Amino acid sequence: MTDADRPTVVYTDGSCLGNPGRGGWGWVVPGAAYASGAEGQTTNQRMEITAALEAIRALVTPEHPALEVVSDSTYVVNCFTQRWWVGWHRRNWMNSQNKPVANRDLWEPLIELALDPAHQITWRWVKGHSGDRWNDVVDQLAVAAATSGRGTSGR
C-alpha cells in the first residue's frame, strides 16, 4: 500500500454557544493541516455536519481520494455507517417519523461528496471528551471559532 492509497485521517467537531446560538466547526489532520469556521446563528448539529463537509472539500483530491472522518457526532457518523441516507432518499427527504429531514441543505452536499465513487470516505465514531488527544484538539478549534466568531487555518 502506498501513501497515496492510505486514507488521510481527519478529526471533525462542531460547537454551539446556546443551541441555537453562535457556532463553530473545525477539522484537524493529526500533525498536519487544520481549519475552523464560525456562524452567527446556528445549531450544534449543523456545525457537526459542516465540519465533516468542509474537511472533505478541503482534503479529498483526485490524487488522494481516501479519507477517514473521525467524529464524536453519532448524528454524522450514523448517517453513513447505518445508511440513514438510503431511507431519506427513498422517502423523498422525510425521516422515519415522516417529518422533513433537518439540515437537508447541508446533508445533500455532504452525502453527494461522501458517496462519490471517485472518493473513498470512511467514518469512525470516537467518544467526545474522553481523552482522545485529537478529538480534544478539534473540539478546542470549534469552541474557539464559536467563541471568537472567526475561523482559522494552517499547517
Q: Look up residue 102 and give its three cell numbers.
A: 433537518
Tell me if residue 72 is catalytic.
Answer: yes
- Find the catalytic residue in 14, 23, 24, 151: 14
- Find the catalytic residue in 3, 63, 129, 131: 129
- Find the catalytic residue in 26, 48, 54, 151: 48
The CB-side HSE value for 127 (13 A sphere, CA atoms) comes to 3
Report how far apart, in Å, the C-alpha atoms of 99 and of each of 48, 69, 92, 110 are.
21, 28, 10, 20
Tell me if residue 139 is catalytic.
Answer: yes
Tell me if residue 119 is catalytic.
Answer: no
Q: Which residue has the cell 486514507?
A: 7
Tell me if residue 105 is catalytic.
Answer: no
Tell me if residue 89 is catalytic.
Answer: no
d(CA 143, CA 129): 13
- Find the catalytic residue in 26, 54, 139, 151: 139
- Find the catalytic residue in 24, 26, 39, 72: 72
Tell me if residue 3 is catalytic.
Answer: no
d(CA 40, CA 22): 5
Give the residue numbers annotated as catalytic, written as ranges.
13-14, 48, 72, 129, 139
